[in-house]
């Protein structure tokens, strides 16, 4: 008997998670449809299909995602054996379409479908925050064991910065918040969030989608953000935004020799801005924020074919960490250099890749959770696909905490990358059904207390259980809730 | 004045929540707040917790309505979820369905008869004044589900169709002499007998000396037709050609115990024709849907019909639906409802019938603010006399309490949800109403949405649960009448949940089952 769900109209409704099913597809041309509605308190689902009996010539299931109008979702997801993580807002409906891409159905072939929800843990200090620069994809939060803690609906963007207070400022490249079901209106703004990642406000007029290059968002590491804008007129301007969202009255205009500014950072006294162009063989420059003039060059550059990467860190002790890369030829050379405040090199770390086939290369660097000068974190890309350039589709990422005192690796974790929702590894590596994007902002959760919103109790059939051992209300999805505020109060005696 | 000057107040009984008038007027043994508590003897404690009912991998969500479905083999739930899909949930780990999908259905009425489930889809309409009312979905029908996991189908069934039925003299036999008409009736797997068919009945002049060979007996295309019966007129003199203008009877030994054979040989005398089949001609083949189902004197009762193209023909000017019509079946034949006289027409006051209930041998029909009584006079329902019981109290579509897991309501009284309060009915409405102590809260409920209020009565532990309309769907009213079922002794509380409770039922004697439509926030 063929499966009943061979059309979108007969799609099987997935109403609880985890959902697993093993189905005999029945024929080579049979397409199976499932559908689900975005569950409460989650913004992403993990989907995996396979045929456990698959060898060449058998039914090879390929999963693709359709929106509620049966059009390709978010430009199209499809894979035959990679884990998918699909963003879906609460209440939003999507379809899962499973078809045979190659081979011929043979009796015994099966389609195994697994749909799971991500972890929904508590964000803690030291967690790695990796936002996505692809519209509608959420921020991934990872603990220092490399496990996904949770996902947060968040605006997509290239840049962000978090203060020790937990208040953060992010580029929002679509100016529409996180809304996969929305219109995806193009825009560009910066948005301020509180320590629980609840938006405080959008701040308009700071950047624009006509800018020639992405903005830079950094801070004084206390209470003020600096936003460097690569204007469409090639002017490079700098403005401040404080931790309440107030925009500073001063606008600095940097010299045009820093065209397409890629990295910048003020010193802690906010007297000097270190900055660099993203073009090849450019120095690291300094600008006097007090007197509004250019100062002498901080560092003349790493040499021919080298560029500055996206981050300049000014540590609490005034020393400076900058990353460089050289993408010429078959060997990608990246290095991180620790300078004193005069530009003298204190230490250097080298990471080289071999045309993407081996080695590790630097992507981003970031302050540690305590904002101390003793260490910083680096995000390395690990072996990548041979036919891709180095910063696209790396299979895995490695995150290291490096000591500025000894140069040693203090902590090291490896995670599975997901590029536009698709695992960069075939199958499931190390059981990782979820993971961070390969791009782009990377920050560490500072030492502040975050209370995530409680998960919502799902709908369904329940019963009153007088003999229940735990005197909590038990809901589906393993949600336990205290009986809400049992109380009696008399008019005379009070509660 | 020091504390020592205060007279101590001794509270020996906790008499429950009081929400009536100023807080200062609350009696000292009552509570101005009683949330998530329940009462025992003279005490009060935190309410019992709730737990998940289904353990299967994909439990149902977005529950709109369910009922306790008493099957021959046990108890279960018939569940409507968003999207107009009805499922059959048997215990924690068995589920069938969807048995029925009608996207327009946002609610349904239900009654179980002989282990079969009768389901009537309905929805809420809004008139030009913004007033909500419920009626069966236009051009939708009553459905029957056998409880075995197979899809529900329309109750009733079409009559035999096809080529003309043929009768001829066969081998030697004995009959009365004269002109006779013979027709066929289908019997479905739920025992329903269809109208007579096919379009052209057989006719034959019996000679009294031969058996009758009936051939070209139609075969139903529907698998649910399990048997067929031959019916015959008595001898007709001066036949006028109107084949349905005569009385028909089931032919003894005229049963065909299958849906295959196309011939049958019978012989009978007119005196053998005792069981009348004439009424089948006027029965609905598809029964219009309504809002509420119940039984009375072994008859199925259906009220709150919008109508179908068939029943909406030739209505008087100004009447656009059948909102005041109740359909009543023949006794013992829940799907056999006469289009001609199997009906009761309640007063045409513009308000639809909302509910129906048998109590002490009287059939009560309800509108939102009316209660009407009808008594079976052993004649057709259209002839039953009407008595207006109360012109101020009525019930919404789920406003008559069901008792324990019976699916019925009788414990020598009825509990009725009325706009004015929770009423106890024992032939007349007892006042003050049971909700008198919490009148302010009751009156604050959105009157236009009383359809959301559903009530169950656990007569074993003497407790009541009532669901509430938005925006209070995350709250249920709970009452304990262990100290007496009157306005003074009943003890009220509010139960709050993290989900919005849309429906409630009792199953497995007195297990309270809640259906949640959504998260509470």
Read out DSSP for A282-318? --EEEEETTTTEE---SB--S-TTEEEEEEEEE-TTS
Is the residue at B313 inside a domain? yes
Residue B501 C-alpha, separation from nearest chain A C-alpha, in angstroms: 9
Single out the residue in A444, A461, A486 at which a domain terminates.
A444
CB pair distance less than 8 Å for A461 and B28: no
- Within an 8 Å CB–CB cutoff, is residue B515 touching chain A? yes
Residue A287 makes CB contacts below 8 A (sequence gap 6+) with: A252, A254, A255, A272, A273, A275, A293, A294, A295
Do B87 and B67 touch, CB atoms closer than 8 A? Answer: no
- Within an 8 Å CB–CB cutoff, is residue B26 touching chain A? yes
Instruction: Identify the pLDDT of residue A447.
Output: 75
- Within an 8 Å CB–CB cutoff, is residue A456 touching chain B? yes
For residues A25 and A132, state if they share a domain: no
Question: What does the alpha-carbon distance between residue A324 and residue A349 come to, in Å, rounded to a whole number?
Answer: 10
The closest alpha carbon to B466, from B492, B439, B437, belongs to B492
Within 13 Å, how many C-alpha atoms sit on residue A65's CB side?
A: 28
Give A10-34 pLDDT, tens digit per residue: 999 998 888 999 999 999 999 999 9
* B467-486 residues touching A, CB cutoff 8 A: none
Residues in chain A: 495
Provide ipTM, 2 decimals: 0.93
Residue A342 makes CB contacts below 8 A (sequence gap 6+) with: none
CB pair distance less than 8 Å for A475 and B30: no
For residues B123 and B148, state if they share a domain: yes
* B32-71 residues touching A, CB cutoff 8 A: 32-37, 44, 46-54, 57-63, 66
- Within an 8 Å CB–CB cutoff, is residue B400 touching chain A? no
User: Which chain A residues have a beta carbon less than 8 Å from that of B7?
Assistant: none
Residues in chain B: 521
CB pair distance less than 8 Å for B33 and A495: yes
Question: What does the alpha-carbon distance between residue A101 and residue A62 come to, in Å, rounded to a whole number?
Answer: 6
Lowest mean pLDDT among A50-64, A240-254, A298-312, B347-361: A50-64
Within 13 Å, how many C-alpha atoms sit on residue B169's CB side?
A: 14
For residues B244 and B331, state if they share a domain: no
The closest alpha carbon to B218, from B247, B196, B240, belongs to B196
3-state secondary structure of B335: coil
Is the residue at B120 inside a domain? yes
> Does A53 or B241 have the greater pLDDT score?
B241
* DSSP string over A375-408: EEEEEEE--B-TTS-TTS-BSEEEEEEEETTT--
Instruction: Identify the pLDDT of residue B408.
Output: 53
Residue A22 C-alpha, separation from nearest chain B C-alpha, in angstroms: 13
pLDDT along chain B (521 residues), means of 10: 66 89 87 94 92 90 94 92 95 93 96 94 94 95 95 95 96 96 96 94 96 97 96 95 94 95 96 93 94 94 93 86 94 93 92 93 94 94 93 93 64 88 92 95 94 93 95 96 93 95 92 93 67
For residues A77 and A193, state if they share a domain: no
The closest alpha carbon to B278, from B183, B344, B205, B198, belongs to B183
Instruction: Identify the pLDDT of residue B143.
Output: 97
Residue B106 carries which DSSP code?
S
Place of tokens 């029965």: B283
Which sign, positive or negative, has the C-alpha torsion A86, A91, A92, A93?
Answer: positive
- Within an 8 Å CB–CB cutoff, is residue A116 touching chain B? no
Instruction: Identify the pLDDT of residue A182.
Output: 36
> Does A155 or B187 have the greater pLDDT score?
B187
- Within an 8 Å CB–CB cutoff, is residue A16 touching chain B? yes
Per the structure, the count of domains in chain A is 2
For residues A211 and A299, state if they share a domain: yes
- Within an 8 Å CB–CB cutoff, is residue B223 touching chain A? no
User: Which chain B residues have a beta carbon less than 8 Å from that of A114?
Assistant: none
User: Which chain A residues have a beta carbon less than 8 Å from that of B520?
Assistant: 456-457
> Does the structure show a pLDDT above 80 at A130?
yes
For residues B67 and B131, state if they share a domain: no
Lowest mean pLDDT among A201-215, A246-260, B286-300: A201-215
Q: Compare CB distances from B61 to A458, A481, A490 and report the shortest one's residue.
A: A458
Instruction: Identify the pLDDT of residue A489.
Output: 86
Residue B117 C-alpha, separation from nearest chain A C-alpha, in angstroms: 20
Question: What does the alpha-carbon distance between residue A157 and residue A221 come to, in Å, rounded to a whole number?
Answer: 21
Instruction: Identify the pLDDT of residue B5.
Output: 67
Do A445 and A369 touch, CB atoms closer than 8 A? Answer: yes
User: Which chain A residues have a beta carbon less than 8 Å from that of B507?
Assistant: 463
Q: Compare CB distances from A471 to B49, B53, B512 and report the shortest one's residue.
A: B49
Label residue A186 exposed, middle or buried (CB < 10 Å: 0-12, 13-18, 19+).
exposed
Place of tokens 């500073």: A248
Is the residue at B238 inside a domain? yes
> Does the structure show a pLDDT above 70 at A404?
yes
> Does the structure show a pLDDT above 60 at A163?
yes
Is the residue at A348 inside a domain? yes
Q: Strand order in B177-188's β-sheet?
A: B197-207, B177-188, B225-233, B248-256
The closest alpha carbon to B432, from B424, B441, B442, B440, belongs to B424
- Within an 8 Å CB–CB cutoff, is residue A469 touching chain B? no
pLDDT band at residue A186 under the 50/70/90 scheme: very low
For residues B176 and B136, state if they share a domain: no
CATH number for the domain including A251? 2.120.10.30
For residues A325 and A394, state if they share a domain: yes
For residues B239 and B294, state if they share a domain: no
> Does A186 or B495 have the greater pLDDT score?
B495
The closest alpha carbon to B64, from B93, B47, B84, belongs to B84
CB pair distance less than 8 Å for A474 and B47: no
What tokens does B305 get? 């019909």
The closest alpha carbon to B120, from B309, B106, B132, belongs to B106
For residues A260 and A174, state if they share a domain: yes
Question: What does the alpha-carbon distance between residue A375 and residue B221 come to, in Å, rounded to a whole number?
Answer: 81
Q: Compare CB distances from B62 to A457, A459, A484 and report the shortest one's residue.
A: A459
Single out the residue in A94, A116, A138 at which a domain terminates.
A116
Do A312 and A303 touch, CB atoms closer than 8 A? Answer: no
Residue-range definition of the domain harbouring residue B332:
102-156+284-386
Is the residue at B142 inside a domain? yes
Residue-range definition of the domain harbouring residue A82:
8-116
Q: Compare CB distances from B52 to A466, A476, A491 and report the shortest one's residue.
A: A476
For residues B218 and B228, state if they share a domain: yes
CB pair distance less than 8 Å for B53 and A463: yes
Question: What does the alpha-carbon distance between residue B185 and residue B188 come to, in Å, rounded to a whole number?
Answer: 10
Residue A174 makes CB contacts below 8 A (sequence gap 6+) with: A135, A155, A156, A184, A185, A186, A187, A188
User: Which chain B residues have a beta carbon less than 8 Å from that of A475?
Assistant: 52, 498-499
For residues A69 and A104, state if they share a domain: yes
Question: What does the alpha-carbon distance between residue A421 and residue A180 come to, in Å, rounded to a whole number?
Answer: 13
Do B62 and A40 touch, CB atoms closer than 8 A? Answer: no
Do B18 and B26 touch, CB atoms closer than 8 A? Answer: yes
The closest alpha carbon to B283, from B300, B306, B262, belongs to B300
Distance of CA A218 to the CA centre of its chain: 18
Gyration radius of chain A over CA positions: 25
Which residues make beta-bridge pairs with B294? B301
For residues A283 and A429, state if they share a domain: yes
CB pair distance less than 8 Å for A488 and B62: no
Residue A347 C-alpha, separation from nearest chain B C-alpha, in angstroms: 54
For residues B69 and B174, state if they share a domain: no
* DSSP string over A333-373: EEEEEEE-TTS-EEEEEEEEEETTSSB-EEEEEEE-TT--T
Is the residue at A451 inside a domain? no
Single out the residue in A58, A92, A116 at which a domain terminates.
A116
Is the residue at B14 inside a domain? no
- Within an 8 Å CB–CB cutoff, is residue A484 touching chain B? yes
Residue ranges of E strands in A18-91:
19-23, 32-37, 44-50, 61-67, 78-79, 84-87
For residues B425 and B485, state if they share a domain: yes
Closest residue of A to B101, CA-based? Answer: A10
Question: What does the alpha-carbon distance between residue B257 and residue B277 come to, in Å, rounded to a whole number?
Answer: 18
Q: Strand A422-423 to strand B63-71: parallel, antiparallel, or no bridges (unpaired)?
A: unpaired
CB pair distance less than 8 Å for A483 and B499: no
Which residues make beta-bridge pairs with A202? A191
Distance of CA A93 to the CA centre of its chain: 23
Give B481-508 pLDDT, tens digit per residue: 999 999 999 999 999 999 999 999 999 8
For residues A97 and A162, state if they share a domain: no
For testing the chain B interface, which of A16, A93, A462, A469 should be mutated: the one with the most B CBs within 10 Å?
A: A462
CB pair distance less than 8 Å for B514 and A491: no
The closest alpha carbon to A415, from A407, A402, A424, belongs to A424
Q: What is the arithmetic mean of pLDDT over A178-184? A: 37
Instruction: Identify the pLDDT of residue A437.
Output: 87
Question: What does the alpha-carbon distance between residue B435 and residue B451 come to, in Å, rounded to a whole number?
Answer: 18
Residue B185 CA: distances (Å) to CA of A140, B232, B479: 68, 11, 52
For residues A98 and A190, state if they share a domain: no
For residues B484 and B517, state if they share a domain: yes
Per the structure, the count of domains in chain B is 3
CB pair distance less than 8 Å for B51 and A474: yes
What tokens does B187 get? 């019997």
Single out the residue in B359, B386, B413 at which a domain terminates.
B386
Task: Tell me the pTM.
Answer: 0.63
Instruction: Identify the pLDDT of residue A466.
Output: 94
Question: What does the alpha-carbon distance between residue A84 and residue A433 come to, in Å, rounded to a whole number?
Answer: 7
pLDDT band at residue A419 under the 50/70/90 scheme: confident
Give A276-334 pLDDT, tens digit per residue: 998 888 999 999 999 999 999 999 988 888 999 999 999 999 999 999 988 777 777 89
Instruction: Identify the pLDDT of residue B398.
Output: 95
Mean pLDDT of all residues belonging to chain A: 86
Main-chain phi, psi angles of A444, to 5 degrees: -110, 140
Question: What does the alpha-carbon distance between residue B447 and residue B453 come to, in Å, rounded to a whole number?
Answer: 10
Residue B474 CA: distances (Å) to CA of A393, A459, A487, B269, B467: 47, 11, 16, 68, 9
Closest residue of A to B38, CA-based? Answer: A486
Residue ranges of E strands in B351-409:
355-359, 362-367, 370-375, 385-390, 402-403
Instruction: Identify the pLDDT of residue B93.
Output: 92
Instruction: Identify the pLDDT of residue A126.
Output: 92
> Does the structure show a pLDDT above 80 at A109?
yes
**Total beta-carbon pairs less than 8 A apart between chain A and chain B:** 165
Is the residue at B112 inside a domain? yes
Residue B159 carries which DSSP code?
P
3-state helix, strand, coil in chain B (%, to 5): 5, 45, 50
Is the residue at A239 inside a domain? yes
């Amino acid at each position: 008997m063929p499966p009943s769900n061979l059309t979108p109209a007969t799609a099987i409704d997935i109403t609880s998670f985890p959902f697993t099913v093993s189905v005999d597809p029945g024929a080579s041309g049979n397409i199976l449809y499932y559908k689900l509605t975005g569950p409460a308190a989650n913004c992403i689902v993990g989907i995996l299909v396979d045929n456990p009996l698959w060898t060449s010539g058998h039914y090879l299931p390929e999963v693709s995602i359709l929106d509620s109008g049966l059009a390709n979702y978010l430009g199209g997801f499809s894979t035959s054996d990679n884990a998918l993580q699909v963003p879906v807002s609460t209440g939003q409906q999507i379809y899962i379409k499973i078809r045979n891409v190659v081979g011929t159905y043979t009796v015994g072939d099966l389609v195994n479908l697994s749909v799971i929800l991500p972890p929904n843990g508590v964000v803690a200090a030291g967690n790695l925050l990796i936002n996505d620069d692809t519209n509608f994809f959420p921020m991934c939060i990872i603990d220092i064991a490399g496990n996904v803690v949770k996902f947060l609906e968040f605006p997509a963007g290239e840049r962000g910065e978090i203060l020790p207070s937990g208040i953060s400022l992010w580029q929002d490249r679509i100016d529409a918040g996180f809304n996969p079901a929305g219109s995806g209106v193009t825009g560009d703004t910066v948005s301020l969030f509180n320590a629980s990642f609840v938006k405080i406000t959008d701040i308009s007029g700071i950047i624009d989608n006509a800018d020639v290059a992405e903005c830079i968002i950094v801070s004084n590491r206390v209470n003020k953000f600096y936003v460097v804008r690569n204007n469409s007129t090639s002017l490079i301007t700098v403005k401040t935004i404080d931790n309440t969202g107030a925009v500073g009255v001063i606008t600095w205009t940097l010299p045009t020799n820093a065209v397409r500014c890629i990295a910048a950072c003020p010193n802690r006294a906010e007297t000097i801005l270190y900055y660099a162009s993203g073009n090849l063989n450019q120095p690291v420059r300094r600008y006097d924020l007090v007197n509004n003039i250019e100062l002498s060059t901080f560092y003349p550059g790493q040499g021919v074919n080298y560029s500055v990467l996206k981050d300049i860190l000014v540590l609490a002790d005034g020393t400076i960490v900058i990353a460089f890369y050289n993408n010429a030829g078959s060997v990608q050379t990246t290095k991180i250099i620790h300078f004193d405040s005069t530009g003298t090199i204190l230490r250097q770390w080298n990471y080289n890749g071999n045309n993407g086939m081996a080695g590790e290369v630097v992507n981003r660097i970031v302050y540690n959770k305590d904002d101390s000068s003793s260490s910083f974190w680096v995000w390395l890309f690990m072996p990548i696909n041979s036919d891709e350039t180095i910063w696209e589709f790396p299979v895995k990422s490695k995150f290291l905490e490096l000591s500025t005192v000894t140069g040693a690796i203090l902590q090291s974790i490896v995670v599975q990358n997901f590029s536009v929702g698709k695992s960069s590894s075939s199958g499931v590596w190390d059981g990782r059904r979820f993971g961070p994007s390969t791009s782009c902002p990377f920050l560490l959760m500072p030492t502040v207390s975050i209370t995530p919103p409680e998960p919502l109790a799902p709908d369904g059939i329940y019963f009153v259980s007088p003999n229940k051992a735990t005197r909590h209300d038990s809901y589906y999805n393993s949600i336990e809730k205290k009986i809400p505020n049992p109380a009696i109060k008399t008019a005379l005696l009070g509660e | 004045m020091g504390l020592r000057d205060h007279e101590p107040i001794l509270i020996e009984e906790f008499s429950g929540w009081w929400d009536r008038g100023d807080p200062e007027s609350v009696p000292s043994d009552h509570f101005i707040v009683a949330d998530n508590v329940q009462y025992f003897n003279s005490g009060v404690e935190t309410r019992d917790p709730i737990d998940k009912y289904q353990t299967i991998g994909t439990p149902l969500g977005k529950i709109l309505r369910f009922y306790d479905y008493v099957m021959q083999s046990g108890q279960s739930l018939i569940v409507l979820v968003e999207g107009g899909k009805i499922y059959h949930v048997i215990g924690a780990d068995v589920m069938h369905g969807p048995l029925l999908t009608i996207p327009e259905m946002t609610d349904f009425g239900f009654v179980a008869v002989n282990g079969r489930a009768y389901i009537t889809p309905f929805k809420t309409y809004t008139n030009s004044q913004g007033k909500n009312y419920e009626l069966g979905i236009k051009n939708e029908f009553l459905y029957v589900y056998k409880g075995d996991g197979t899809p529900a189908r329309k109750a009733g069934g079409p009559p035999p169709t096809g080529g003309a039925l043929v009768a001829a003299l066969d081998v030697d036999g004995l009959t009365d002499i004269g002109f006779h008409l013979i027709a066929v009736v289908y019997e479905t797997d739920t025992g329903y007998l269809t109208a007579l068919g096919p379009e052209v009945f057989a006719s034959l002049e019996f000679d009294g000396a031969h058996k009758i060979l009936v051939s070209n007996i139609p075969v139903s295309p529907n698998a649910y037709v399990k048997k067929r019966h031959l019916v015959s007129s008595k001898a007709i003199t001066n036949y006028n050609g109107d084949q349905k203008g005569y009385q028909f009877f089931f032919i003894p030994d005229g049963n065909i115990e299958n849906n295959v054979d196309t011939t049958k040989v019978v012989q009978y005398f007119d005196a053998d024709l005792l069981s009348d089949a004439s009424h089948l001609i006027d029965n609905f083949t598809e029964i219009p849907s309504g809002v509420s189902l119940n039984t009375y004197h072994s008859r199925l009762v259906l009220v709150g019909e919008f109508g179908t193209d068939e029943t909406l023909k030739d209505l008087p000017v100004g009447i656009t639906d059948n909102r005041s019509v109740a359909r009543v079946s023949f006794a013992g034949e829940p799907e056999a409802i006469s289009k001609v006289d199997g009906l009761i027409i309640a007063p045409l006051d513009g308000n639809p019938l909302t509910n129906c209930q048998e109590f002490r041998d009287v059939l009560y029909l309800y509108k939102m603010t009316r209660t009407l009584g009808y008594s079976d006079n052993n004649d057709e329902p259209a002839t039953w006399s009407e008595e207006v019981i109360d012109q101020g109290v009525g019930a919404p579509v789920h406003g008559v309490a069901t008792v324990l897991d019976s699916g019925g309501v009788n414990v020598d009284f009825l509990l009725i949800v009325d706009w004015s309060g929770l009423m106890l009915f024992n032939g007349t409405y007892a006042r003050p109403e049971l909700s008198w102590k919490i009148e302010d809260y009751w009156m604050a409920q959105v009157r236009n949405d009383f359809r959301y209020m559903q009530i169950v009565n656990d007569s074993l532990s003497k407790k009541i649960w009532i669901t509430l309309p938005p925006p209070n769907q995350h709250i249920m009213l709970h009452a304990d009448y262990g100290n007496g079922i009157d306005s003074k002794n009943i003890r009220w509380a509010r139960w709050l949940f993290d989900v919005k409770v849309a429906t409630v039922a009792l199953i497995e004697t007195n297990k309270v089952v809640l259906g949640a439509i959504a998260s509470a926030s």
